[in-house]
């Protein structure tokens, strides 16, 4: 029963990730209908919350997403802090996401920090949040 609930939650979260901005008009603004019309991932609280919750459900068996504390968006990347409950304890947890078209894809610290900042396509603000270093 729990796996069915997690599957349903992941499906709902994935569906909410489809909200996007139009990238084809000279003044790309949010779609009035909230539907996918372009190729850019939306960076707002409901979308980032859904992406982080889906990551918790898919990656951390037995853990429960509690809340999104804060997030920072920069050039197609997100650094987010969320409260995650596991074994009766709620702890703040860092998440990093990168935009791929209309979707936010979880990205590990190892992927971000595996390349020196000077050679990385990760924005400095996100890189420093993940790796703790500046060059």
Provide the pLDDT for residue 127: 96
More confident residue, 1 or 68: 68
Share of the chain above pLDDT 70, in %: 70
Provide the pLDDT for residue 24: 27
Tens-place pLDDT, residues 10-61: 333 333 332 332 222 223 333 333 333 446 899 999 999 999 999 999 999 9
CB within 8 A of 92, min separation 6: which ones? Answer: 69, 81, 82, 83, 84
- Count of domains for the chain: 1
Displacement of CA 102 from its chain's centroid (Å): 11
Provide the pLDDT for residue 1: 33
Domain that holds residue 89: 2-131
């Amino acid at each position: 029963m729990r796996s069915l609930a997690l599957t349903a939650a992941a499906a709902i979260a994935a569906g909410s990730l489809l909200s996007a901005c139009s990238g084809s008009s000279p003044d790309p603004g949010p779609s009035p209908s909230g539907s996918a019309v372009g190729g850019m991932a939306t960076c707002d609280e409901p979308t980032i919350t859904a992406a982080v919750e889906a990551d918790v459900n898919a990656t951390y068996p037995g853990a429960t997403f509690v809340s999104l504390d804060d997030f920072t968006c920069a050039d197609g990347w997100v650094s987010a802090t969320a409260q995650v409950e596991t074994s009766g304890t709620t702890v703040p947890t860092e998440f990093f996401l990168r935009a791929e078209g209309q979707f936010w894809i979880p990205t590990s610290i190892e992927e971000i920090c595996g390349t020196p900042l000077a050679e990385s396509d990760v924005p400095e603000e996100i890189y420093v949040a993940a790796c703790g270093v500046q060059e």
